[in-house]
Amino acid sequence: MAEVISPLPGTFYAAPAPDEDPYVNEGDDVEAGQVIGLVEVMKQFSEIKSQVAGTVSSIEVANGDAVTPGTVVAVIEEK
Amino acid sequence: MKRLLIANRGEIARRILRSAKVRGLETVLACSEADEDSVAAREADSFVVIGPAQAQKSYLNIEAILESARDSEADAVHPGYGFLSENPDFAQAVIDAGLTWVGPLPETIRLMGDKAAARRAAEEAGVPILPGSDGLVDDKSQAHDVAEQVGFPLMIKAAAGGGGRGIRVVREASDFDGALDQVRTEAQASFGDSRFYIERFVERARHVEVQILGDGNTAIHLGDRDCSMQRRSQKVLEEAPAPKLPDDIREQMRSSSVALAESCGYTGAGTVEFLYDPQRREAAFIEMNTRLQVEHPVTEVITGIDLVAEQLRIADGEALELDQGDVEFRGHAFECRLNAEDPTQNFFPSPGRITGLTWPDRPSVRVDSAVESGSDVAPYYDSMIAKLIVHGSDRADALDELRQALDETTVDGVATTLDLHRSLAARPELVEVTHHTHFIEETPDVLPKPEQS
């Protein structure tokens, strides 16, 4: 299991835009470097990426919720 | 008006508090959970938490703000700038709740928020506008006719565009068809609306604006400001009065701004923004902002007029106390916006705790700050933490004051744009007023270098 951690404080977004599908859903396969979500800090958006390839076993933060540095955003089951 | 609810945060909440207290009003701050421990919350007579940190759930939540006004028995609402300050539905909801709205009428906000309608209203009031299409264009042959009249370079802007999408600068006639197709395709895909405008594109433009006060019957101006030093369309450094502006252009901007304000029965403080083309010596309407501006202090410093106090007086139903002849301009003022961003890291946001803070302590310096030593800069909102405002007897003196004030300022704990301001204040382009709205982006050596470790 690998945790995807937000390095930043701010607001988490699961999708690139409000009317679009989330970057990933639980059960999806992801590549190393794939975008899991966005964190908005003072109106600037940063991508949060998975460090490893695997399957998304859980997404820990709801869309629009606050995160702090170290918050676990998702858990990936490594391949 | 007895008890004022302030639906905002940071330095502008504190700024409004100051003038409200002088007027003898009780103050209530409507703030988010993240701002419960802010300086503004401490300084207000009381505060009400309206929701969680994220602005969508607090500062942009109309229902929660109205509820906080009811619970605190406030009888008036000041929206500050940003957030809901230019939302006509919020203004209307405040009025419908039986409260006094500190701002222009909802219909004025709505008019100025509609780009095409605002341009028409400006033109009818005699405000100069850029040559361009008269309203929206929807077909190619009409577009060719307009392009021929306007000349190149020109700008094609999607009616529904925004955020840099659906906009193209076209420099030569041979590129026009290709650019037009791109804008229409992009606009249709992004916004479901392929209609567009055509306007002259001004190279190396300056941003100049006129401060207006109106009481619904008459309006006056409080002079002009220059806000040409910008980064990605965000103002960085402002000054008043606007330097190096021909007398006839300054007069045209001021009188036509007053005419526009009077034509829409403007109540309160507003700003008419212009693009100034130094090559052609022509000003043209950009938009009218129906609220207090971030940079209002430079106008206050050179006129001695408290703009927030005037807003409150007018909202309370009083007529303008000032005649145009009462407004006098003394000296020159600059304002630096200090942001918690790292200019050596492409302006990446730098929230965190401020561990040390020193402001200059001289009569020529005013500091409008959101924070003090020990404050936390939250990641959820705009990065501006303070404004440093200086006053000098003339522009050269004000520039000296600015450099000295920046040297005397220290902020520890978070990265800030202080070094960018020090660099800008030393630039010959600022001294000679040859800068323009894209100067910072086009001048990489103006950015401070990362510290060597």
Confidence of residue B53 (pLDDT cuts 50, 70, 90): very high
Judged by average pLDDT, the poorest of B127-131, B160-164, B176-180 is: B160-164
CATH code where residue A36 lies = 2.40.50.100
Task: Show me where the domains of chain B are located.
Answer: 3-100, 131-200, 206-446
Q: Residue B453: is its pLDDT beyond 90?
A: no
Q: What percent of chain B has pLDDT over 90?
A: 87
Mean pLDDT of A61-75: 92
How much is the average pLDDT of A24-40? 95
CB of A41 within 8 Å of any CB in chain B? Answer: yes
Average pLDDT, chain B: 95
pLDDT digits (tens, 9 = 90+) for B393-434: 999 999 999 999 999 999 999 999 999 999 999 999 999 999
Does A38 touch chain B if contact means CB atoms closer than 8 Å?
no
CATH 3.30.1490.20 fits B131-200, yes or no: yes
Contacts of B385 in chain A (CB under 8 A): none
The answer to whether residues B67 and B43 touch, using CB atoms and an 8 Å cutoff, is: no
DSSP label at residue A61: S
Domains B3-100 and B131-200 share a fold: no
Indicate if the pLDDT at residue B116 is higher than 90.
no
Q: HEC states along chain B?
A: CCEEEECCCHHHHHHHHHHHHHCCCEEEEEEEHHHCCCHHHHHCCEEEEEECCCHHHCCCCHHHHHHHHHHCCCCEEECCCCCCCCCHHHHHHHHHCCCEECCCCHHHHHHHHCHHHHHHHHHHCCCCCCCECCCCECCHHHHHHHHHHHCCCEEEEEEEEECCEEEEEECCHHHHHHHHHHHHHHHHHHHCCCCEEEEECCCCCEEEEEEEEEECCCEEEEEEEEEEEEECCEEEEEEECCCCCCHHHHHHHHHHHHHHHHHCCCEEEEEEEEEEECCCCEEEEEEEECCCCCCHHHHHHHHCCCHHHHHHHHHCCCCCCCCHHHCCCCCEEEEEEEECEEHHHCCEECCEECCEEECCCCCCEEEEECCCCCCEECCCCCCEEEEEEEEECCHHHHHHHHHHHHHHCEEECCCCCHHHHHHHHCCHHHHHCCCCCCHHHHCHHHCCCCCCC
What is the per-residue pLDDT for B443? 96
Average pLDDT over residues B151-170: 83
Please report residues of B whose CB lies closer than 8 A to that of A64.
Answer: 54, 56-57
Q: Write down the pLDDT at residue B222.
A: 98
Q: How many domains does chain A have?
A: 1
What was the ipTM of the complex prediction? 0.74
What does chain A come to in residues? Answer: 79
Inter-chain touch B54–A64, beta carbons under 8 Å: yes
Residues of chain A positioned with their CB less than 8 A from the CB of B342: none
pLDDT band at A18 (very low <50, low <70, confident <90, very high): confident
Terminal-to-terminal C-alpha distance of chain B: 57
For residue B380, the chain A residues in CB contact (below 8 A) are 10-11, 42, 66
3-state secondary structure of A25: coil
**Which residues of B are catalytically annotated?**
291
Q: Convert the pLDDT of each residue in B291-320 to its tens digit.
A: 999 999 999 999 999 999 999 999 999 999
Task: Give the pLDDT score at B117.
Answer: 87
Residue with more model confidence, B143 or B189: B143
For residue B382, give the chain A residue with the closest CA. Answer: A42
Confidence of residue B452 (pLDDT cuts 50, 70, 90): low
Q: Check whether B115 has a pLDDT greater than 90.
A: no
Alpha carbon of B304: minimum distance to chain A alpha carbons (Å): 33
Q: Do A41 and B351 touch (CB under 8 A)?
A: yes
**B3-100 has CATH 3.90.950.10 classification:** no
| Residue B329, min C-alpha distance to chain A (Å) | 36
pLDDT of residue B133: 86
Quick check: B94 pLDDT over 70? yes
Q: What is the spatial distance between Cα B362 and Cα B342, in angstroms, rounded to a whole number?
A: 27
A43-57, B91-105, B436-450 — most confident range: B91-105
pTM: 0.92
Please tell me the distance from the alpha carbon of residue B196 to that of residue B360, in angstroms, as a whole number: 49
User: Given an 8 Å threshold on Cβ–Cβ distance, is A41 in contact with B56?
Assistant: no
CB-CB neighbors (< 8 A) of A47 in chain B: none
pLDDT at B332 over 90: yes
Class of domain B206-446: alpha beta
Residue B114: pLDDT band (50, 70, 90) is: confident
Average pLDDT in the B46-51 region? 98
pLDDT value of position B356? 97
Q: Can you give the pLDDT at residue B431?
A: 98
Nearest by Cα to B218 from B285, B253, B254, B263: B263
Predicted pLDDT at B178: 92
Q: Does A16 touch chain B (CB under 8 A)?
A: no
What is the domain extent for residue A58?
2-78
Task: State how far residue B444 is from chain A, nearest Cα, in angstroms.
Answer: 21
Counted across chains A and B, CB pairs separated by less than 8 A come out at 33
The answer to whether the CB atoms of B379 and A10 lie below 8 A apart is yes
CA–CA gap between residue B29 and residue B184 (Å, rounded): 45
